[in-house]
Amino acid sequence: MPGPYQFFVTGILALACVVTPRAPAQSSPLSSGDDWPYYGHDAGGMRYSPLAQINRENVATLKVAWTFHVGDISDGSGHQKRSGLETTPILVNGTLYLTSAFNRVFALDPETGKQRWVYDPMTELAGDYGDGLINRGVAGWIDAARTEGKPCRTRIFETTLDARLIALDGATGEPCSDFGNHGQISLRDVARYIPGNYHMTSPPVVIDDVVVVGSSIDDNSRVDMPSGVVRAFDARTGALRWKWEPLPPNDATSAPQVQGRTWRTGAGNAWSVMVVDEVRDLVFVPTGSASPDYYGGLRPGDDKWADSVVALRGKTGEFVWGFQLVHHDLWDYDSGSPPLLATLQHDGKTLPVVIQGNKTGFLYVLNRDTGAPLFPVEERPVPQTDVPGEVTSPTQPFPLAPPAVVPQKLSAADAWGITPEDREVCRDRLKSLRNDGLFTPPSLQGTLSVPGNVGGMNWSGYAYDQQHSLLVVNTNNLPAKMGVIPRDKYWDTVDKNTEDAEYTEQAGGPYGLFRTFLFAKAHHLPCAPPPWGTLTAVDMAKGTIRWQVPLGSLSPDNPAIPLGAPSLGGPIVTASGLVFIAGTMIDPSLRAFDVESGKEIWKAQLPTSAGATPMTYQTRKGGKQFLVIAAGGHRSVTEEPQSDSIVAFALP
Across all residues in the chain, what is the average pLDDT? 93
Quick check: 583 and 460 in contact, CB under 8 A? Answer: yes
Tell whether 48 is covered by a domain. Answer: no
For position 31, what pLDDT does the model report? Answer: 53
Which amino acid is it at 515? R
Query: Does the pLDDT value for residue 23 go beyond 50?
Result: no
For position 30, what pLDDT does the model report? Answer: 58
What percentage of the chain exceeds 70 in pLDDT?
93
Tell whether 99 is covered by a domain. Answer: yes
DSSP helix/strand/coil, 411:
coil
For position 12, what pLDDT does the model report? Answer: 38
Query: Does the pLDDT value for residue 180 go beyond 70?
Result: yes
Radius of gyration of the chain (CA): 23
Quick check: 449 and 483 in contact, CB under 8 A? Answer: no
The mean pLDDT value for 572-586 works out to 98
Its pTM surpasses 0.75: yes
Classify residue 131 as exposed, middle or buried by CB count within 10 Å of its CB (0-12, 13-18, 19+).
buried
DSSP helix/strand/coil, 65:
strand
What are the pLDDT digits (tens) for 53-97? 999 999 999 999 999 999 999 999 988 999 999 999 999 999 999
What are the pLDDT digits (tens) for 460-501? 999 999 999 999 999 999 999 999 999 999 999 999 887 788
Query: Would you place residue 313 in the very low, low, confident or very high pLDDT band (cuts 50, 70, 90)?
Result: very high
Query: Does the pLDDT value for residue 252 go beyond 60?
Result: no
Tell whether 25 is covered by a domain. Answer: no
Tell whether 435 is covered by a domain. Answer: yes
What are the pLDDT digits (tens) for 410-421? 999 999 999 999
Query: Does the pLDDT value for residue 257 go beyond 70?
Result: no
Peptide bond into 442 cis (omega under 30): no
For position 168, what pLDDT does the model report? Answer: 98
The mean pLDDT value for 232-255 works out to 89
Query: Does the pLDDT value for residue 15 go beyond 70?
Result: no
Mean pLDDT is lowest, of 140-144, 404-408, 606-610, 618-622, for 618-622
For position 341, what pLDDT does the model report? Answer: 98
Quick check: 228 and 269 in contact, CB under 8 A? Answer: yes
For position 620, what pLDDT does the model report? Answer: 87
Query: Does the pLDDT value for residue 177 go beyond 90?
Result: yes
Beta bridge partners of 333: none
Tell whether 134 is covered by a domain. Answer: yes
Query: Does the pLDDT value for residue 19 go beyond 60?
Result: no
More confident residue, 366 or 4: 366
What does the alpha-carbon distance between residue 464 and residue 483 come to, in Å, rounded to a whole number? 37
Query: Does the pLDDT value for residue 7 go beyond 90?
Result: no
Contacts of 625 (CB under 8 A, 6+ apart): 51, 53, 54, 616, 617, 618, 650, 651
Quick check: 102 and 85 in contact, CB under 8 A? Answer: no
For position 24, what pLDDT does the model report? Answer: 32
209 is an active site residue = no
Query: Would you place residue 4 in the very low, low, confident or very high pLDDT band (cuts 50, 70, 90)?
Result: very low
What are the pLDDT digits (tens) for 115-162? 999 999 999 999 889 889 999 999 999 999 999 999 999 999 999 999
Query: Does the pLDDT value for residue 537 go beyond 70?
Result: yes
Tell whether 1 is covered by a domain. Answer: no
Tell whether 256 is covered by a domain. Answer: no
Mean pLDDT is lowest, of 248-262, 371-385, 428-442, 446-460, for 248-262
Please tell me which residue in 120, 332, 334, 644 is annotated as part of the active site.
332
How many domains is the chain built from? 1
The mean pLDDT value for 547-562 works out to 96
Contacts of 477 (CB under 8 A, 6+ apart): 406, 407, 451, 526, 528, 530, 531, 532, 533, 534, 564, 566
Query: Does the pLDDT value for residue 1 go beyond 90?
Result: no
More confident residue, 20 or 394: 394
Query: Does the pLDDT value for residue 22 go beyond 90?
Result: no
What percentage of the chain exceeds 90 in pLDDT?
87
What does the alpha-carbon distance between residue 590 and residue 603 come to, in Å, rounded to a whole number? 6
Query: Does the pLDDT value for residue 429 go beyond 80?
Result: yes
Quick check: 336 and 459 in contact, CB under 8 A? Answer: yes
The mean pLDDT value for 340-346 works out to 94
Q: What Cα–Cα distance (Å) separates residue 605 from each residue in 225, 453, 456, 584, 602?
A: 41, 29, 26, 12, 10
Instruction: Look at strands 257-258 and 210-213 and give their pairing.
Output: unpaired
For position 18, what pLDDT does the model report? Answer: 40
For position 11, what pLDDT does the model report? Answer: 39
- Cα–Cα–Cα angle for 149, 233, 182, rounded to 5 degrees: 55
For position 497, what pLDDT does the model report? Answer: 81
What are the pLDDT digits (tens) for 565-576? 999 999 999 999
For position 460, what pLDDT does the model report? Answer: 97
Query: Would you place residue 622 in the very low, low, confident or very high pLDDT band (cuts 50, 70, 90)?
Result: confident
The mean pLDDT value for 531-557 works out to 97
- CATH number, residue 171: 2.140.10.10
Query: Does the pLDDT value for residue 3 go beyond 50?
Result: no
For position 258, what pLDDT does the model report? Answer: 63
Query: Does the pLDDT value for residue 516 go beyond 70?
Result: yes
Tell whether 33 is covered by a domain. Answer: no
How many Å from the N-terminal Cα to the C-terminal Cα in the chain? 41
- Structural domain span for residue 172: 58-65+73-250+262-650
For position 347, what pLDDT does the model report? Answer: 85
Query: Would you place residue 230 in the very low, low, confident or very high pLDDT band (cuts 50, 70, 90)?
Result: very high
